[in-house]
Chain A
Amino acid sequence: EVQLVQSGAEVKKPGESLKISCKGFGYTFTSYWIAWVRQMPGKGLEWMGVRYPADSDTRYNPSFRGQVTISADKSINTVYLQWSSLKASDTGMYYCARVNTFGQSYGWGIDYWGQGTLVTVSS
């Protein structure tokens, strides 16, 4: 069974750094891109970026480039989302998701989601 298991909720102060994780189970982790998706309180879903765990290929939504860093450690089937200096506006739920082309030669569809990591940034 495919599962994406995310790290637990975090409470941080503005200016602090943070790294949250997403670990894949039940499939060949290096064969699928992993996406990060933000959901701010009471709002919709926003695509942040993707990482291919097999190499260093990372694509960011221009809206998030420079604000976060997506990395991976393929030896432990884990992708990370990292902030160097958090802001209150980073408060939200962050989901990882497995990307699937659904049999096409390209595409950024999603077939499985993690359970989410709540990040609260408050002084």
Chain B
Amino acid sequence: DIQVTQSPSSLSASVGDRVTITCRASQDISTWLGWHQQRPEKGPKSLIYATSSLQDGVPSRFSGSGSGTTFNLTISSLQPEDFATYYCLQYKTSPPAFGQGTKVEIK
């Protein structure tokens, strides 16, 4: 099975900061990676698919990059509503695997 390692597990940042979260896959998954946001006490929401394609309605301050085994989610200017936990998901092979999550907290 392909495993995904996400880092950091948490970070503190201020409104307006640029934030980057990284996922590393145990094998080459090309661009079969998505990112999901989970706000406190809420269900997850899909942000990005195929590494870099934004879901409809997702603000352009979110971007994704990478291929193969290393992937990044970047928030260019952190907004109050972005404080949440972010999960990557490799979906090339079965079973798909989530990263462990990155909690983005207010500094």
A positions within 8 Å CB-CB of B? 44-47, 49, 59, 61-63, 95, 97, 100, 102-104, 107-116
> How many B residues face the partner with a CB closer than 8 A?
23
Contact yes or no, A95 B43, CB < 8 A = yes
What CA separation (Å) do A113 and B44 show in the bound complex? 6
The 7 A-B residue pairs with the shortest CB-CB distance in the complex, in nearest-first order: A61-B95, A108-B91, A45-B98, A109-B91, A108-B96, A44-B101, A116-B43
Sample of 4 further A-B pairs with CB below 8 A, known A100-B49, A102-B53, A112-B46: A47-B97, A102-B50, A107-B32, A116-B43
Tally of contacts, chain A with chain B, CB under 8 A = 61
Among A46, A112, A113, residue most surrounded by chain B Cβ atoms (within 10 Å): A113
B44 touches A109 (CB 8 A): no
- The answer to whether B100 touches A110 (Cβ under 8 A) is no
Q: In the bound complex, do residue A113 and residue B96 qualify as a contact, i.e. CB atoms below 8 Å apart? A: no
Instruction: Give the distance to chain A from B61, nearest Cβ to Cβ, in Å.
Output: 20
* Complex interface: chain A residues within 8 A of B50 (CB): 102-104, 109
Give the chain A neighbours of B44 by CB distance below 8 A. Answer: 45, 95, 97, 113
